[in-house]
Amino acid sequence: MPISYQRGHHLSIYKSDLNPPANMSESLPLEILILIIRKLPPQPPHIPIALPATDVLTKTFIALSLTNTAFHAIAIDYLYKYCLFIDKPWRLTALLRSLGTLQNSKGGISRQGMSPAIITSLVLKPYHNGTIADRRIAQEINALFTILAPNLKRLVIDMELRSLYPEDDDEGIRPILRMAFEKLTAIEVFCSTRDELFLNLHWPLHPEPPVWSYWPKLTTLALYNVDMENFMPYVKVMDSIKTLVLTNADSIDDLHERWNGEFHGYTGYEICPTRPSTVAAMRELLKDEQHLEIIIVNNHDYQDFLDEALGTSRYLTTSFVDVPMPPNVHYPEALQEWTKNLIISGIPLEMVERVNVQDLRWIHWND
């Protein structure tokens, strides 16, 4: 169905999902229909980070945007707010192109009265072949984050950052990606599906602070296969972090020793020498007794140890989630999908021990 440029540039993200709707304005007054439409978006207590193109609400918003001018503006607004599920390279390109139409030199507001500031949540899976070795996509991610960084609060990424190690990065792709992610200083909720957000540029020769340690508003951090020994020191100096979701974490048996040394017997060791405020931040954290919750996914072999080691800490609570795996699925990928979909779902993490696989929408074991 041909679409005029004024409408179509926003909908190009969903070019394969467009279907002309029936006339929806024949039965009820327009004002009543608008009131109904405004009740459609997800409601608290949990609002998904993004709805995929296959979701019934996304399809509804697309259909409404093609119905008439009154519905179009509302529906496009909802697509940007609730449906930025970028799971293909062409969707990333189309989104970047559409955002270009939202900006101008007078403050980033388009003729339609919209602004990139309405985008606060994003799911990003821009690679399709299992590797990040694509400089064009890296540049598009950098351009996208440049636009969204001031307002983007929730982000889930599904990117194989360990598919290209620093020593093999002949095209300088990793520096582009690290620069892009460092811009996201408004992030509050973040999930890296496939790894620990591995954006090191000199690994393993020189230690580098993880990019997320530069995000001052970060409250929830979900990572896969982190090295607990090197991970926890950076967590301790984060002013706002409240919840960790750690799936298949490594070196978890070192946590007790680290915890005692860092929280209960600080010796003055500069854990993060590249951050001059480490000592002050550590002491401030101890003084305020900031509470931290760690949700440990499928490290059940360590549950008894961690209960004994950490259960009495007034600064820390731990939850253990043993995810049942369906038969005939590849364990790591299935577990990664479970955690990703947990965060995407927006389910309050205090409910995580009551969540099962069937509760999580859009899970695809064989993706």
The residue range of the domain holding 75 is 1-85
> Would you state the pLDDT for residue 23?
57
Q: Is the pLDDT of residue 190 over 70?
A: yes
**Is residue 59 a part of any domain in this protein?**
yes
With bands split at pLDDT 50, 70 and 90, how would you rate the model's confidence at 306? low
**Is residue 13 a part of any domain in this protein?**
yes
**Is residue 36 a part of any domain in this protein?**
yes
Number of other CB atoms surrounding residue 168 within 10 Å: 11
3-state secondary structure (DSSP) of residue 191: strand
**Is residue 24 a part of any domain in this protein?**
yes
Residue 232 tokens, joined: 């926890």
Cα–Cα distance, 184 to 156 (Å, whole number): 13
Cβ–Cβ < 8 Å for 324, 290: no
Percentage of the chain surpassing pLDDT 90?
A: 46
> Would you state the pLDDT for residue 149?
97
pTM of the model: 0.81
Cα–Cα distance, 173 to 133 (Å, whole number): 7
**Is residue 103 a part of any domain in this protein?**
no
**Is residue 332 a part of any domain in this protein?**
no
Would you give the distance in Å from CA 123 to the centre of its chain?
Answer: 6
With bands split at pLDDT 50, 70 and 90, how would you rate the model's confidence at 313? low
With bands split at pLDDT 50, 70 and 90, how would you rate the model's confidence at 205? confident
Please state the domain count of the chain: 1
**Is residue 4 a part of any domain in this protein?**
yes
**Is residue 66 a part of any domain in this protein?**
yes
